[in-house]
Amino acid sequence: MSKYLDKLAILGSADVKTEEVSVPEWGGTVLVRGMTAAARDAWEQMLVKDGKSSLENARAKLVAVSVVDEAGNLVFSESDVVLLGAKSASALSRIATAAQRLSRLSVADIEDAAKN
């Protein structure tokens, strides 16, 4: 028996965590999922505007790729980012903090993503 994981073990693992986050400003709770590799790539691409890096609505963009429903489907799309950006900074920050923790994103990671 091999001490190394095989493809089935890796692909079959439930490695993306979720966390319920209370959002009193909205009167309820949202489910935040850590980003998959594909979601992280999409989020990093969202930080580029007109060929240049931009942190404009960075929290809203992170929320858009992290909040899911009970079935694991994203609640928001990229087209919702501007609307999310108009919501409470406190609410978005709370959700974004959970998304950062679940996705192991540091402030430096966010700045690097915007630069690259």
Q: Output the pLDDT for position 2.
A: 81
pLDDT at position 45: 87
Q: What is the pLDDT confidence band of residue 109, given thresholds at 50, 70 and 90?
A: low
State the alpha helices, DSSP H only, in 2-115: 7-11, 37-46, 58-64, 81-85, 89-103, 107-115
Q: Check the CA dihedral 52-91-34-79 and report its sign.
A: negative
Instruction: Give me the amino acid identity at 55.
Output: L
For the domain spanning 17-115, the CATH number is 3.30.2220.20
- Nearest CA to 23 out of 14, 34, 10, 32 is that of 32
pTM attached to this predicted model: 0.83
Instruction: Read off the pLDDT band of 74 (50, 70, 90).
Output: very high
- State mean pLDDT over 77-103: 95
Alpha carbons 95 and 104: distance in angstroms, whole number: 14
Closest CA to 114 of 64, 65, 63, 52: 52
Which amino acid, one-letter code, is at 62? L
Helix (H, G, I), strand (E, B) or coil at 34: coil
